[in-house]
Structure 1
Amino acid sequence: MANLMSKKFLTILLLGQLLSLCITATTIFTTKLAQGDNPVSIPTTQSFLNYLVLGIVYTSITIYKEGFRGWLEIIRRRAFYYMLFAIVDVEGNYFVVKAYNYTSLLSAMLLDAWTIPCVVVLSVFFLKMRFIRFHYLGVFLAMAGMGFLIWSDMEAGKDFPGSDYVKGDLFCLLGATLYGVSNVYQEFLVRQRPMYEVVGQMGFWATILNGIQLAVLERNEIRSVEWTPQVVGYIIGFDIALFIMYSASPILFRLSSATFFNLSLLTSDFYGLIFGLFLFGAKINRLYPIAYVLIIVGIIVYNIYPAPEPKFEKILQREQGNKSQLDVNNILQEDDESNMV
């Protein structure tokens, strides 16, 4: 119980809800784009802009701290690891977005929750993490809250029919699995290398991959978009929210775990409802407060005891005495001598 009173718990709780609000913002901006007078649906393009900005900003930081030769050495030694991370992240986004074009909304929501058990299983077998019963109970309570959210939407008649349920459900399961792999793999990377290096390399390689997909899949849609100030503003808002999320999530992975990250994101549906009251005239269903409380209780129960530390061979830490390597154990010490990068 002492862990719940610590500065670390308060930090990861607030950080997790910040990331949840970022997810909510991306959903709102995408909805505004889709519901305008001239509907816009260019998810690959929107993701491309985020990856591009991440690559530019964090690659610049990497070059500033490591030097241009150091950056080239990073590519020489670890390009494979970061290319794999980028591929998994880009394709996870792609398949989940595509799933909504074929299956029903509620089916997609339910299947998207598959990410959480995937993360738990991958953390146990890949990161060698040992969860205790309170961690599993916290996951169960949060998933129960997700169940109430879906039940609430069913009662409100928010389900939208799909055109090909089998194809859509398979896409959603594949996307959710890739999300889980991406989250655990990112935790593996940021616990070994500086965060600016991980995010910069992911943005660099994802920009190339996503740019190829954009040219193949959305070139016609881009030509047909009416680039009004409103449309541009929504896309910029979307990318700002996504940029904050991709920048802050590595910190949460270091302080807690990929499992906690995904539990925190479950509250985004509730925040979406709050904003929807003012933006889209939504109504609060009686089950939503129950769902939110269950998710928050699940998050608290999960953190009664600290998240288990991964136990894996630090195969990426090749340079001894790397000045840019962040020591996570010092992040929240009282002397505050460590710096977040």
Structure 2
Amino acid sequence: MEIKTKNARGLLLVLFLGQLVAFSLAAGNFASSLVANLGVNAPLTQSFFVYLLLTLVYVPILFHRRQKPRIPWYWYLAIAFIDVQGNYLFVEAYQYSSITSITLLDCWTIVWVIILTWYVLGTRYSFWQFLGAGTCVAGLCLVLLSDARSPDVQDPGKIPLLGDALVIAGTVCYAFTNIGQEYCVKKNDRVELVAMLGLCGVLVTGVQIFLFERKNLEAVAWSPTMISLFAGYAAATFMFYNITPFVLKMSGSTLFNLSLLTSDMWAVAIRVFLYQQQVNWLYYLAFAVVAIGLIIYSLNESSSGDGRAESTEAVALYQQLPSEDNSKGSCSNLDGQERKQQEEAHIC
């Protein structure tokens, strides 16, 4: 009963943190959509301020520890580079597609994460977990069907399918970064991961802004509204990067991405109540299907985790028995010899 209570509390904590991450993601998406609607196309600059904020907060803490990084710096650089490309593709997608399509389609990360964790980390999933993830993917296919059949009538200049393609490409990048972050946070601590991710992200975005985005920045009219939108995106995404390592360490990449699906509810509310735009009925059906898939997967996550933990303990115990110190083995042999000698003496 105590184990079941701990598992239930742990699952509730993970789901709660997942909702905080989902809320921060929805807030960042809202800020990015407003920036795109104002005609500004500066995705790298938006990401730059996020990484700069992470650097200013966490790098001094890392220096205060006065210890060398436990993971080579080039691994963090690779993770940051892929993460920057994923952020760029997602923010750029707002130029062509709606906030509802983008927030639903970002769940394609689940598919890539399952494939990568299966082959890279050796994670094994049950039939019900596959069924839950497959149900989520079915809901995402309804989004693609809706965007293909009904282009955005509120803005004829948008190309929904192009935006969808950018999001799906971005999910591939996010899948790699999620796996890399999960590996680093489970082998190391959270502070080093976030600090190095922020520092390397500043370097990567700074170089790419200088090469590709200087002209777009010169055309931006920096009004108080625009500055507040950039600051809001940076604050929401900063919160996202702070909580993400906790969820990755406690549950893993798959349940983390499944928990983000509830951000779609906020996206629909933003589009209906703030933008005064109609939402295709397929979006509601897609959200319902995706929510059912999340429930199926999360209910089987704890049982699968227990099975993995039990098998790991069994393997460790099995490995420990033959690897006991030779002194113990030799002592047992000596005791056996002494008992044998005593028995022979007694017989004599």
TM-score by length of 1: 0.77
Q: What is the rounded CA distance, in whole Å, between the counterparts of 1:119 and 1:113 in structure 2?
A: 10
Higher helix share: 2
Deviation, 1:277, is: 2.3
Determine if the alignment matches structure 1 residue 13 to structure 2 residue 24. no
1:68-107 residue pairs with structure 2 within 5 A? 70=67, 73-74=68-69, 78-98=72-92
Structure 2 counterpart of 1:35, one-letter code:
N
Report deviation, 1:141.
1.8
Matching of residue 158 in structure 1 with residue 158 in structure 2: no
Match among 270, 294, 315 for residue 289 of structure 2 = 294
The C-alpha deviation readout for 1:61-111, integer Å capped at 9, x for no partner, is: 2223x13xx1xx218x62122111111111222344456668999997887
- Could you list the per-position Cα deviations for residues 142-166 of structure 1 after superposition, in whole angstroms to 9, with x for gaps in the alignment? 2223234444555654386778989
Distance across 2 between alignment mates of 1:99 and 1:35: 12
Post-superposition offset of 1:45: 0.2
Partners of 1:210 and 1:298 lie apart in 2 by: 36
The amino acid that maps onto 2:133 is V
1:177 is aligned to 2:139: no
1:46 aligns with 2:40: no
Matched residues in 1 for 2:99 and 2:270: separation?
A: 19
TM-score by length of 2: 0.76
Q: Is contact 2:102–2:164 with CA below 8 Å preserved after alignment? A: yes
Q: 1:4 to 1:269 in 2, by over 3 A?
A: farther
Partner of 1:116: 110
Paired residue type of 2:254: T
Bigger drift between 168-177 and 126-135 goes to 168-177
Distance of aligned partners of 1:122 and 1:96 in 2 relative to their CA distance in 1, 3 Å threshold: same
- The counterpart of 1:257, out of the listed 247, 252, 258, is 252
Partner of 1:136: 130
Query: Do the aligned partners of 1:141 and 1:297 also contact (CA within 8 Å) in 2?
Result: yes
Larger Rg: 2
Structure-2 separation of matches of 1:164 and 1:253: 31
Partner letter of residue 111 of structure 2?
Answer: P
Q: Which amino acid aligns with 1:47?
A: S
Map 1:22-33 → 2, pairs under 5 A: 22-33=24-35
- In structure 2, the CA distance between the partners of 1:86 and 1:124, relative to structure 1 (3 Å rule), is same
* CA distance in structure 2 between the aligned counterparts of 1:262 and 1:49, rounded to whole angstroms: 24
2:242 and 2:10 map into 1 onto residues whose CA distance is 19
8 A contact 1:273–1:282 mirrored in 2: no
Match of 2:223 among 228, 235, 240: 228
Query: Contact 2:80/2:200 (CA < 8 Å) preserved in 1?
Result: yes
Q: Which residue identity does 2:26 align to in structure 1?
A: T
Q: Which residue of 2 aligns with 1:211?
A: 206
User: Which residue type is aligned with residue 14 of structure 1?
Assistant: F
SS in 2 for 1:296: helix
Q: Which residue of 1 aligns with 2:339?
A: none
Give structure 1 stretches of 5+ with no counterpart: 313-341
Work out the CA distance in 1 between the residues paired with 2:105 and 2:279. Answer: 23
Number of residues paired by the alignment?
Answer: 302
Q: Which residue in 2 is equivalent to 1:326?
A: none
Distance 1:164 1:282, change over 3 A: closer
Counterpart in the other structure of 1:335: none
Change (3 A) 1:62 1:109: closer
Identity %: 30
* 8 Å contact from structure 1 (residues 20, 266) kept in 2: yes
Q: Tell whether 2:248 aligns with 1:248.
A: no
CA contact (8 A) 1:52 1:204 kept: yes
User: Residues 125 and 3 from structure 1, CA distance in 2 versus in 1: closer, same or farther, beyond 3 angstroms?
Assistant: farther
Q: Secondary structure at the match of 1:74?
A: coil
Partner of 2:56: 56
Alpha-carbon distance in 2 for matches of 1:281, 1:156: 17
Aligned residue among 34, 37, 57 for 2:36: 34
By how many angstroms is 1:255 displaced? 1.2
Stretches of structure 2 lacking an aligned partner (at least 5 in a row): 313-348
1:177 deviates by 1.7
Structure 2 SS opposite 1:303: helix
